[in-house]
Amino acid sequence: MRVVRFNAVALPLFLGFLGCSSGTGGTASQGGASANGGTSGRGGATGSGGVTGSGGVTSSGGSGSGGATGSGGASSSGGTTNSGGTTSLGGATGRGGATGSGGATGSGGATGSGGATGSGGATGLGGATGLGGSTGGLPAAVPSAGCGKADGAKTLTTGGSSVASGLLTSTRLKITSGGQSREYIIDIPADYDPTHPYRLIFSWHQAYGSDTGNAIGQYPAFNGPNFDATNYAYFGLHREATAANQPAIFVAPQGITNSPWDYNRDVVLFDDLLALIDANLCIDDSRVFTTGFSFGAMMSYALSIGRQSKLRGAVTMEAANYNFTQPTNSNAPIAYMGVTGMNDCICPWVNDGSCNTGSSNGNSAAKEGGKYCVLQHAQDNGCTIPATITTTTSGSKKYLCYDFEGCKAGYPVKVCTFDGAHTPSAVDDGTNGGDDGLKAFVPPLAWQFIAQF
């Protein structure tokens, strides 16, 4: 078991965001309540495991519209080119606003401010128009079996319940997976069109979190400004998709205990949920994504190396490549974006035993930490690996993004480091600090990354 050291500042501030260090478990809380813990073993490589099961489901429809609020932020100027990639300094960001990561991506397609998309500058749901159509040079959508089923959404959601303090479009449901009754929350656009293939985004909560906390935007666990469903449901991505007029379908699974995810068990849940949604709703099978924070980022990273054939991309916030059994990596390419705080002592940039608190890359013989999650995908995607990844500096109160060059077309790798600790919602604009659901720099960047496909 790898034990990560905690410093006197980081520990009390980030209780409950644990996913990467070890501790004691308990029962999972609702509404994103937190504590420090989450025991999990540090496993070796195993098979990717997990057979798709047909889960029984009972659900009940919720419909309505979730509004987006907030104003866009101004972007800062780009950074300097580093050998093997492009860096850009972060500026102020906001919902739907331009972001500081407006620099060029690798060969996987350009990104830009304000939700600009990838090659061809296409907009809309991945460029999809109708069943299997495309615009702007993006690949055509791959419609799921549920496309064309007029009553698919009603069938899926019958028997479920609404989510208190959540969006009107979110519904709490049950599915039988791996012989267990599991809970999840799904969000379907209010004006859902059964002939339009939507992006599907899996959103995994942290240790001591919950699907409820995910769906109502209750992060960080100690709360703060603008942490509500409108501003921060599904890590703020629902807000960004709505503002871009590119509604997506979101699914937030509920973990088991306070160490919520186990890859060999929960890859089956992922497979079962994907199969169920695919059969009932109209999604684009070529545009399925995964995201998560802390332990949820660990689960997303594990899926990104174990389920590349089912995922188009992954966005992880404070990921780690240890503390539970990792699947065997097929080394297939997948678009990947990683975000790590350089003062994170829970899921550090480099898990070298000393808690990396500066801009140094550090050194770890085990190659553990957020840095190595990014490097694994850069290697798998054929990107140019630089001698040094440029990271932000302590005290700057800014994030800095690095886009790898030379990646296989359509499979970019991006890493953003920020001057902060273990959180998915930092405000890094050069002057402010802390967390804010609306002003956090990650949601606009994360949506921008996803929207290019």
Overall average pLDDT of the 387-405 stretch: 95
CB contact at 8 A, 312 and 367: no
Q: What is the pLDDT of residue 85?
A: 67
Which region, left, alpha or beta, applies to residue 159 given φ > 0 means left and ψ of -120 to 50 means alpha?
left
CB contact at 8 A, 328 and 322: no
Overall average pLDDT of the 75-83 stretch: 38
pLDDT tens sequence across 412-435: 999 999 999 999 999 988 887 889
Query: Which of 17-21, 69-73, 125-129, 325-329 is the most confident on average?
Result: 325-329
Q: What is the pLDDT of residue 45?
A: 36
pLDDT tens sequence across 244-291: 999 999 999 999 999 999 999 999 999 999 999 999 999 999 999 999
Q: What are the CA-CA distances from residue 257 to residues 39, 81, 186, 321 (Å)?
A: 10, 44, 21, 20
pLDDT tens sequence across 154-187: 999 999 999 999 999 999 999 999 999 999 999 9
pLDDT tens sequence across 2-17: 333 333 333 333 444 4
How far is 324 from 321, CA to CA, in rounded Å? Answer: 8
Q: What is the pLDDT of residue 430?
A: 86
Q: What is the pLDDT of residue 90?
A: 64
How far is 85 from 225, CA to CA, in rounded Å? Answer: 35
If you average pLDDT over every residue of the chain, what do you get? 78
Overall average pLDDT of the 231-241 stretch: 98
At residue 81, φ and ψ (nearest 5 deg) are -75, 135
Q: How many other C-beta atoms are found inside a 10 Å radius of the C-beta of residue 212?
A: 25
Overall average pLDDT of the 388-392 stretch: 95
pTM: 0.77
Residue 390 pLDDT more than 60?
yes
Written as one string, the DSSP assignment of 229-297 is: HHHHGGGGHHHHHHHTT---EEEEE--SSSS---HHHHHHHHHHHHHHHHHHS-EEEEEEEEEEETHHH
Q: How many other C-beta atoms are found inside a 10 Å radius of the C-beta of residue 8?
A: 6
At residue 310, φ and ψ (nearest 5 deg) are -110, -10
Q: What is the pLDDT of residue 19?
A: 67
CB contact at 8 A, 277 and 198: no
CB contact at 8 A, 96 and 113: no
At residue 234, φ and ψ (nearest 5 deg) are 55, 50
pLDDT tens sequence across 102-159: 333 333 333 333 333 333 333 333 344 457 665 456 789 999 999 999 999 999 999 9
According to DSSP, the β-strands at 198-204 and 283-293 are: parallel
